[in-house]
Amino acid sequence: MEYFLQQLINSLTLGSIYGLIAIGYTMVYGIIGMINFAHGDVFMIGSFVSLIAMVILGVGTGAFLPLALLVVLFAAILITSVYGWTLERVAYRPLRGSFRLAALITALGASIFLQNFVQVSQGAKIKPIQPVIQGGFTFFENGSLVVSLSYLQIFIIIITIILLSIFSYIISKTPLGRSQRACEQDLTMSKLLGINVDKTISITFIIGASLASVAGMMFVLYYGVIDFFIGFLTGIKAFTAAVLGGIGSIPGAVIGGLLIGLIETFWSAYFTIEYKDVAVFSILVIVLIFRPYGILGKPEVEKV
C-alpha cells in the first residue's frame, strides 16, 4: 500500500507537467482545428531557457531562491512566447486557408527545425543541473520503503491547479475568452462580428507557449536533465493527454495529463519500464477507436 501511495504522488506530479503542455494543444486545436506538433519543441525550448537562466543566476548556489525562480520563470515565458508568436505568424498563418495536410506538414517541419536549431546552438549532449528545491514531508519509512511528498512536487501540483483556474476563468469570463470561443465556433462569422481573429489566434499561441515554458521549468527542476529531443516524446504524450481528456477542453487536457501520468508511472512501477511508452500510446489508439472525442469532449455535429 505504501509503495502504491508513493507511485500515486509521482504520477500526479508527472501528470501535472503533461497537463500544462496539453492545454496548449487543446487551445490551438479548439480555435483553428490544427494540431501544433511544434508545441512539444516549444516546451523543450522553455526547458533550455530555464536551465540557462538558472546557471546565469546561480540558482541553488546562494541566490535568493524564490526571487531567482521567479526571474527564471519570467525569462522562460518571455522567450517561449516570442517563439510561439513567431511560429503562428510565419509558419501557420499563411496556410490557414489551405487544406489541412499543408498545416500538418508545416507543423512537423517547424518541429524538426526547432529540434535542430537547439541541437546546433546548445549541443547534443545531455544538460544536467543540481537539485534546486530539496526537502519535503515523509509520511512513512520502513527500511528502503519510503512514502514522501517533496516540496518540489507540492510546488508543481499547486502551480498546475492555479494556472488551470486562471485560464478557465479567462476562457469563460473575459472578452478574450469570448473571442476565442467565437473563433472556435466560426472564424468567418467572428470576422463579420468585428473580432480580430488574427490577434485572438496569436494570443492563443502565446498563452500555449507560456504554459509550455512553465512545464519546461518544472521538468528541469524535477528531473534535472534535458536534451534537445525531450520535446518530441513529451509533446506526443501531452497530445495523447489532450485527446484522452477531450481535445478542445482545458479541464479535459489536465485530466488527460493526470491519467497519462498515472498510466506511465504505474506501468513503470509494476511492469517493465521499457514498455511504458507502448502502454501510453496504446491508450491513444483505444481512445481513438472507441471514444475519439475524449472524456470531456463533445462529438462534432456537422450541419447540412
> Tens digits of per-residue pLDDT, 122-134?
988 999 888 888 8
- Give the whole-angstrom CA distance, residue 253 versus residue 207: 15
Question: Cβ distance 26 to 239 under 8 Å?
Answer: no
pLDDT at position 301, please? Answer: 58
Residue-wise pLDDT tens for the chain (304 aa)?
Answer: 778 888 888 999 999 999 999 988 888 887 777 788 899 999 999 999 999 999 888 876 555 788 888 899 999 999 999 999 999 998 888 887 777 788 888 888 999 999 999 999 998 899 988 888 888 888 877 767 778 888 999 989 998 888 888 888 888 888 888 888 888 888 888 888 888 988 988 998 999 899 999 999 999 999 989 999 899 889 889 988 988 888 878 888 888 999 999 999 998 888 888 888 888 888 878 888 888 888 877 766 555 4
Distances (CA, A) of 116 to 82, 229, 237: 18, 9, 21
The amino acid that residue 264 corresponds to is E
pLDDT tens column, 7-53? 888 999 999 999 999 988 888 887 777 788 899 999 999 999 999 99
- Give the whole-angstrom CA distance, residue 207 versus residue 249: 15
pTM for the model: 0.90
Handedness of CA 162, 230, 37, 301 (dihedral sign): negative
Q: Can you read off the three cell numbers belonging to residue 158?
A: 499547486
pLDDT at position 119, please? Answer: 92
The C-alpha angle 261, 212, 164, rounded to 5 degrees, equals 70
pLDDT at position 166, please? Answer: 86
Distances (CA, A) of 248 to 31, 148, 216, 260, 284: 8, 35, 22, 17, 16
Q: Can you read off the three cell numbers belonging to residue 204?
A: 492563443
pLDDT at position 147, please? Answer: 82
pLDDT at position 300, please? Answer: 63
pLDDT at position 14, please? Answer: 92
pLDDT at position 283, please? Answer: 81
Using CB atoms within 10 Å of the CB of residue 148, give its burial: 0 to 12 exposed, 13 to 18 middle, 19+ buried. middle
pLDDT at position 63, please? Answer: 56
